[in-house]
A and B are shown apart, each in its own frame.
Chain A
Amino acid sequence: MEKYKLFDAEYKFVSIIWDNEPINSTELVKLCADKLGWKKSTTYTVLKKLCERGILQNVDATVTALVKREDVQRYESRAVLEKTFDGSLPKFLTAFLSGRKLSEQEAEELKRIIEEAVK
């Protein structure tokens, strides 16, 4: 069985369904608003997306999970984010407004400075 990779928010969402399935979609919207702070549209968007990926199914406004909890891996990669966002920011803007990113060495040095300072 193929392992499903879910983002943090998706994982939280699916967790709610595992805990409460089968669940009425209206009920689900209420639960998500309560627990995740989501709007109705957000809940439906994510639901639709996960249905398309075959993780959830929504039949007659009743939502059930198609995968088991142990088959799902919490996905913590940045790769997707970088693909979607980084390219849209002009390089000069980033450099100009935020300064350089920290290199590993600089991070290490800062760490040392902090330790010394608060010793």
Chain B
Amino acid sequence: MSFLQDLFLTVVNMSITASYVAIGVILVRLLLKKAPKVFSYILWIPVLFRLVCPFSFDSAFSFFNLINLNAKQGIGISELVPQNIGLMHTPAIQSGIGSIDSEANASLPSAIPVASVNPMEIWMTVLSLIWISGVIVLMIYGIISYVKIKGKLQTATRVEADVFETNAIGTAFVCGFIRPKIYVPANIGDANLSYILEHERTHIRRKDYLIKPIAFLALILHWFNPLMWLCFALMSRDMEISCDESVLHRLGEGAKGGYSNSLLSLAVKRKGLLAANPLAFGESHVKTRIKNILNFKKPAFWVIMVAVVAVCAAAIAFAANPPKGGTISEEDKRKLADVVSEYYMKADPANKGTLKIYNIKKFGSSYLVLTQKYRGEGESFSVLFLADSGFNIVAKAPGDIPISPCFSANVVKYQGKSIVYGNFKNKKWNPQTDLVTDVQIDFIKITFEDGTYVREQVSMDKGYIVVVDTLSNIRNIEVYNSKGELQSDLINESACSEYDFIDVIGEKSSDRITSLIEDKLAEIMSSPKNSSDPQEYINAHQAEYNAILALETQALPYLFTEFEKGGQTGLKGYIMQNLCWDILGEDNIQYASKDPQDWYDTFKKHVQRIAASSSVDSVKANNPKYGALLDVINTHGKDAFHMGFEEVEEILKGNSLWPSEDINSAQKYKEGIKIEFDTDVKSDNKTIIIEPSQIIKASPDFIEQIKQIKEELLKPAASLFATVLDITPKDEAIKLDFSLCNISGESLAFYFSSSQKFDIFITDNNGMEVYRWSHDKGFATAIINTKLKKDEKLSFSEVWDYKDNKGNRVPPGKYTITVKILAKLENTKITNPDELTAAKDIEVE
């Protein structure tokens, strides 16, 4: 790509842009017909700007928003014909007008890959040579005619300070660049002269003598564009007419007649002299000018105001490029880097690699961020993140890192666009020759099957993201150095992987992941309908299956939640089980399950055991997958738990079995409810541990269970026994006959936990214990099983000699004798203590 061709293409692109502006200006000019011509004149400034300046500023107010110019958003240059059109397999230009484009593009020869020289390149060379020849010819012509005029003007004789007259010219004009002088034809008469001088001095005041040559230079550059010749002619006319208006404004309307007569006499005098020299001020369109002068009225203030506003707006709109939409502030870049960093921390806490942000690009109102965080081992890959306008990561796609070729290419088709991204390397390895060569990459060009292409400047250390408005497949990607030399291309040396965006679900958007997995699962389960092998369904929908797999740990909450609901023994269960196994990998359990639900339940117990042996927090920190399960158990059952918990609390409190210390519910929630009972309620220990899972799994069941506890366990069984005490006073002693009678109506098995089967308590009138039978006795610990048939009695007899525990006779008074049979039921039921005791009062003398 030669400098000449670059220059030519730059000019062509400016020309196309300027043509749009020119058409716009010509239209606005029609609207401003009644307004002073100076406004029409000013309107040409944007056209000139577009013709000579390849750069512009950006404004949302740009006229180019109206026409769909897919202008290159790189560095402010509107690139409609790509710089490397000569190197394209299928060259294409974008003029913004569909029909013209297809016409023009159809006429562009496409490259035959085997040909060493691209025919388009030859064309470009020829065209740019023609162009530069034209420029040179016109330039020489301009210079020659200027020199010729200067030569003729040499003998012009001074009339006034800067006014010269000569009969070598037929009309008046200003000539010169630094100190412009006015030249008038000799003998045009004093009356005419004053008008003519006023006119030419106005030109000098307005610096028209500089503007016109600049415009002419622009015209020379764009000589191939007929529209620009029209523009030049119209601009010259607007310049003259606005100058006339300016003169009349100064001289007053009374000067109309004299002024137009002067113009006419000059025009009649002239017979084809120098009129067309673009560097001097000849007369043009005398008739139009005279009519305009005669119609001249000082414009109304509002007309001027409206025109000023219209012209300013139009000038900005024509001069500005549409906003790039590609600029991202440093602050936004920092925010994006932060969210990506945060994402890696959460999703892959074990990865201690350095986070690289290769590239950030706007995508509509969203952002694309190309990153890499290499953990130091295993396969190296990049990640393309999609972050929404609020800087939340919503999706991601993996990307390849180049190994043997010098660039990698990945594509994600998303929202009707192809997002192509990848990284570069400064060396490439040729597997055929085993040669490693250095490469320098400055430009990338991506061509699609449908002929769409893009060419973008890239930086080797940055990675690239290119967004293209097509869903067509990529035909080729070529990378060039700054000289336009091909460094590598896709077809011969690289490969392009197509990926899908995987939704990244933030904490707040689990709904999205749920719907995603549900959609994919539904697709997987849709076919083949006749198969009974879940694997066949998976095989038939590998892409959908992989899409769920790609969610990795993020898919687990949904899967666990589904299992948590229970009954997953069907096709869905098997697919979900496979997904879980694939995602869990080494974290799965070795267990021969009978169905997916069985696997899940076992796996859950496994995790709960781990959590119980350490702590929930440490499990979560060390194993996010187990953490996901624990979260599901907690989160999913939370509401049910609270409901159940309240119930349990009420029931237990009603039975005075609630622990005295008030544990906060969160603690109970994590660890289960641990309730210590005062008495033995279970044969094995004194505690009931209600695990959260029990509550979660079936909260109504649990409540029922608790109710049963209430009925069967916590409330003493009634009407099993009756204890009867008979007292027979004797001399200085009292005989106690008591018995335990089975009144339950059926045979009862019970036991004594030691050789002591009963006890006798005697309390005085104040309730103070004075005597206890067991006080001075020892008993062997042993389970003594006993059975009482229906209505059968177990009888005991003892004698109390009115002596207290210390062996002293008790003082006279009223005493209460209580006997307690220490029988215990064999099951975990408790007996009503009242049924095992009997008491009687006696009077001791």
Residues of A whose CB lies within 8 Å of any CB of B are 7-10, 12-13, 35-39, 42, 45-46, 76, 78, 81-82, 84-86, 88-89, 93-94, 96-99, 101-102, 106-107, 110-111, 113-115, 117-118
**From residue 60 to 78 of chain B, which have CB atoms closer than 8 A to chain A?**
none
Interface 9-residue window, one of B112-120, B264-272, B375-383, B474-482: B264-272
Asked, given contacts A12-B157, A45-B154, A99-B284, whether A81 binds B260 with beta carbons under 8 Å apart, the answer is: no
- A81 adjacent to B168 (CB under 8 Å): yes
B504: CB under 8 A from chain A? no
Given known pairs A45-B154, A101-B272, the reply for A8 and B167 (CB within 8 Å) is yes
What residues of chain B lie closer than 8 Å to A114, measured between beta carbons? 257, 260-261, 264, 290, 294
A12 to B144, CA, bound (A): 28
Pairwise interchain contact A113-B157, C-beta atoms closer than 8 A:
no
- The answer on a CB contact under 8 Å between A82 and B271 is yes
A9 close to B275 (CB less than 8 A): no
B 149-204 contacts with A by CB, 8 A = 152, 154-158, 164-170, 186-187
Residues on B with C-beta less than 8 A from A110 are 260, 264, 286-287, 290
With A8-B166, A110-B264 known as contacts, the answer to whether A82 contacts B155 (CB < 8 A) is no
Q: A76-B167, A88-B148, A113-B291 are in contact. Are A82 and B157 (CB under 8 A)?
A: no
B145 within 8 A of A: yes
With a cutoff of 8 Å between Cβ atoms, the chain A residues found around residue B273 in the complex are 78, 81-82, 85-86
Compute how far the CA of A106 lies from the CA of B156 in the bound complex, rounded to whole angstroms: 31
Write out the residue numbers on chain B whose beta carbons fall within 8 Å of the beta carbon of A88.
Answer: 144-145, 148
Is there contact, CB below 8 Å, between A46 and B157?
no
Q: Are A97 and B276 in contact (CB under 8 A)?
A: yes
- The 7 A-B pairs with the shortest beta carbon distances in the complex, nearest first, are A37-B158, A118-B257, A9-B155, A36-B157, A8-B167, A117-B294, A94-B276
Contact B284–A98 (Cβ < 8 Å):
yes
Query: What residues on B are CB-neighbors of A99 within 8 Å?
Result: 284-288
* B154-A85 in contact (CB<8A): no
> Quick check: A10 and B271 within 8 Å, CB to CB?
no
In terms of DSSP, what is the predominant structure of the interface of chain B? mixed
Closest partner residue, chain B, to A111 (CB atom): B264
Selected A-B contacts with CB under 8 Å, 15 pairs: A8-B187, A9-B168, A9-B186, A10-B155, A35-B158, A36-B158, A37-B164, A76-B167, A86-B272, A89-B276, A97-B236, A99-B285, A107-B264, A107-B268, A117-B294
Residues of B close to A78: CB separation below 8 A? 170, 271, 273
Q: Which of B148, B260, B278: most chain A CB closer than 10 A? A: B260
B275 touches A94 (CB 8 A): yes
Quick check: is B396 within 8 A (CB to CB) of the other chain? no
How many whole Å from B30's CB to the nearest CB in chain A? Answer: 19
Q: Please tell me if the beta carbons of A97 and B158 are within 8 angstroms of each other in the complex.
A: no
CA distance A42 to B152 in the complex (A): 11
Q: Which residue of B lies closest to A75 (CB)?
A: B167
Look across to chain A and name the residue whose beta carbon is closest to the beta carbon of B156: A9
Q: Does B283 contact A (CB under 8 A)?
A: yes
> In whole Å, how far is B158's beta carbon from the nearest beta carbon of chain A?
3
B428 CB within 8 Å of chain A? no
How many residue pairs, one in A and one in B, have C-beta atoms under 8 Å apart? 123
A93 neighbours in B (Cβ, 8 Å): 276
Contact B155 A113 (CB under 8 A): no
Is B274 on the interface with A (CB-CB < 8 A)?
A: yes
Q: How far is the CA of A47 from the CA of B159 in the complex (A)?
A: 21
Task: Give the residues in chain B near A38, CB-CB below 8 Å.
Answer: 154-155, 157-158
> Is B815's beta carbon under 8 Å from chain A?
no
B residues contacting the other copy or chain, number (CB 8 A): 48
Whether the pair A97, B233 counts as a contact (CB closer than 8 A) is yes
Instruction: Indicate whether B750 reaches chain A with its CB closer than 8 angstroms.
Output: no
A106–B155 touching, CB < 8 Å: no
Q: Are A107 and B267 in contact (CB under 8 A)?
A: yes
Given A94-B275, A117-B260, A118-B260, 7 more A-B residue pairs with CB atoms under 8 Å apart are A9-B166, A36-B158, A78-B273, A86-B273, A97-B276, A101-B270, A117-B294
Secondary structure of the A side of the interface? Answer: helix
Instruction: Report how far A34 CA is from B277 CA in the complex, Å.
Output: 29
A42, B285: Cα distance in complex, Å = 34
Within 265-324 of B, Cβ neighbours of A (below 8 Å) are at 267-268, 270-278, 282-288, 290-291, 294
Residues of B near A113 (CB, < 8 A) are 290-291, 294
Given A9, A39, A96, A106, which contacts B157 in the complex, CB threshold below 8 Å?
A9
Q: Which of B148, B158, B264, B278 contacts A85 (CB under 8 A)?
A: B148
> CB-nearest residue of chain B relative to A94?
B276
A100 shortest CB reach to chain B, Å: 9
Which of A36, A39, A84, A97 interacts with B284 by CB under 8 Å? A97
Contacts of B275 in A (CB 8 A): 94, 97-98
Is there an interface contact between B276 and A98, defined as CB atoms closer than 8 Å?
Answer: yes
The distance in angstroms between the C-alpha atoms of A29 and B367, with both chains bound, is 76
B229 interface hit (Cβ, 8 Å): yes
Residue contact B267 to A102, C-beta cutoff 8 Å: yes
Interface positions of B from 437 to 489, Cβ below 8 Å from A: none
Q: Which residues of B contact A98 (CB under 8 A)?
A: 275-276, 282-285
Asked if B256 is an interface residue, CB under 8 A from chain A, the answer is yes
Output the nearest chain B residue to A102 by Cβ-Cβ distance.
B267
Q: Does B232 contact A (CB under 8 A)?
A: yes
B148 and A46 within 8 A (CB)? no
Partner of B232, one of A97, A115, A118: A97
Interface string of B196-232 (1 = CB under 8 A from A): 0000000000000000000000000000000001001
Query: In the complex, A76→B187 CA distance in Å?
Result: 10
Inter-chain CA distance A7–B153, complex, in Å, is 13
Q: A97-B232, A118-B256 are in contact. Are A106 and B287 (CB under 8 A)?
A: yes
Cβ proximity bits B730-766 to A, threshold 8 Å, 1 near / 0 not: 0000000000000000000000000000000000000
Query: Contacts of B166 on A, CB cut-off 8 Å?
Result: 8-9
Residue pair B257, A94 in contact (C-beta under 8 Å): no
Min CB distance, A92 to chain B, in Å? 9
A29 to B294, CA, bound (A): 46
B690, chain A: closest CB distance, angstroms: 99
Q: Which of B170, B273, B275, B282 has the most CB of A within 10 A?
A: B275
Contacts of A86 in B (CB 8 A): 272-273
Measured CB to CB, the closest approach of chain B to A2, in angstroms, equals 22
| A85→B276 CA distance, assembly (Å) | 11
Complex: chain A residue closest to B257, CB-CB: A118
Cα of A102 to Cα of B653 in the assembled complex, Å: 117
Q: Report the Cα distance A113→B286, complex, angstroms.
A: 13
